[in-house]
Amino acid sequence: MHVRRLQRLGTTTIVVSLPRKWVKDKGLKQGDVVYLEEGIDSIVLHTSNKAQQTYKITINAELEPNPETLARLVTASYLQGYDEVRIISQTGLLLEQVEEIQAVVERLPGFEVLEQTPNQLVIQGIVDPAKFTVDSIMKRMQVMVSSMINASIDAVIEGMPEKAAEVSRVESKLDELYFLVVRQLLLSVRNPSLAKIIGIDSVPAVTGYRLVSKAIEEIGDYALAISKESLNIKRRGRGIEKEILTQIMTIGEEVSTIFGRAVNAFLTLDIKLINSVFQQIPPLAERIVKLESDMLEKIKDPQILISLRLVMRYISGIIDQCRIIAEVAVNKFVRIDSKICITEVS
């Protein structure tokens, strides 16, 4: 670490000297242009204009011909923030490779195949990341997952396959938003000036947003799993006591409410909202255990019993993810000055 004192030059300009060895190693001289990038809590000095740089990656399909692996590499390249992905093969790309790659590109928002020849496939990002704040993406994810939870519980209670189909459709869109938010977060680490624009206030915030976005995506997966079990229940016929269905419906409504509060607590840092999530979870978890016990006594069809117990396990999984969101919200809360917590560095 090099220590420097700020000095005044003229009446308005503040200057700081650069380490002589660093200047020499970079081949700089008086009059050369350098670029200052304002970060979250720092200023970074670049010898080239990072804002005009395009990040590209080339994937050799001859060295890794497996179509599924190629698709994973394309997805990882998207998440890592590459602007252009080129898949090449001197012997020619196989049809199954191209189809697998095109299928995964359809799930990556802002990525499109711009060029395709027998020997290469060029994918490029066409969306400006500065247009999407992380909070706005997560709010959209929250709305989608809330609808998925409600529809999946309705599918169990009412035995409506169209509700299950609705959950499946929304889940594919949810995955797209999840990929987008992860890409934004990783881009904010690489490009500090972008971080402020998309709403990332510190480096630790990236970890928190990553955990919460993953929790929301996991809750969507649980809702999808519930909707699939509703189809198994319908195939076996109804025959479930009304009291059991009423309890499942009530628990489902409360879980949906807790989820909404957990995400809002993270986004708004309302400490009362955060506490309400922690307070609601334990008694609800106890009621789930009690309901499972009642099911063992009252439901005679073993297959329906298995499906309903799976439904309750998935609901418990949703609750666990809500707890994680609330825990991250608390960690975020203590990093930001408030009347309750006043931070300082000495």
Q: Tell me, what's the pLDDT at 337?
A: 78
Find where tokens 């490779």 sit. 97
Q: Could you please report the per-residue DSSP string of 54-105?
A: --EEEEETTTS--HHHHHHHHHHHHHTT-SEEEEE-TT---HHHHHHHHHHH
Q: Tell me, what's the pLDDT at 132?
A: 92
H or E, element range at 158: helix 134-158
320, 197, 196, 308: which is closest to 255 by C-alpha? Answer: 320
CATH 3.10.180.10 fits 130-334, yes or no: no
Distance CA 134, CA 277 (A): 22
Burial 252-270 (b: 16+ CB within 10 A, else e): bebbbbbbbbbbbbbbebe
**Would you give per-residue pLDDT tens digits along the chain (346 residues)?**
777 788 887 777 888 888 888 888 888 887 777 777 666 566 777 776 555 578 899 999 999 999 999 999 999 999 999 999 999 999 999 999 999 999 999 999 999 999 999 999 999 998 888 899 999 999 999 999 999 999 999 999 988 888 899 999 999 999 999 999 999 999 988 887 788 889 998 888 899 999 999 999 999 999 999 999 998 888 876 668 888 999 999 999 999 999 999 999 999 999 999 999 999 999 999 999 999 999 998 888 888 899 999 999 999 999 999 999 999 999 999 888 778 877 776 6
Distance CA 76, CA 74 (A): 5
Q: Tell me, what's the pLDDT at 136?
A: 96
124, 54, 112, 116: which is closest to 88 by C-alpha? Answer: 116
Distance CA 234, CA 294 (A): 20
Amino acid of residue 288: I
Distance CA 68, CA 57 (A): 18
CATH 3.30.110.140 fits 56-125, yes or no: yes
Distance CA 152, CA 248 (A): 11
Q: Tell me, what's the pLDDT at 50?
A: 56
Distance CA 19, CA 16 (A): 10
Tokens matching residue 153: 């519980």
Partners of 15 in beta bridges: 7
CB 153 within 8 A of CB 222: no
Sequence spans of domains, the chain:
7-51, 56-125, 130-334
Q: Tell me, what's the pLDDT at 253?
A: 95
Distance CA 87, CA 61 (A): 6
Q: Tell me, what's the pLDDT at 12?
A: 78
Q: Tell me, what's the pLDDT at 79?
A: 94
Amino acid of residue 272: K
Q: Residue ranges of the alpha helices (H) in 191-270?
A: 192-198, 203-235, 242-268
Amino acid of residue 293: S
Find where tokens 């999840």 sit. 178
Q: Tell me, what's the pLDDT at 49?
A: 56
Specify the pairing of strand 56-60 against strand 43-46.
Answer: unpaired
Tokens matching residue 150: 């409600």
Partners of 130 in beta bridges: none
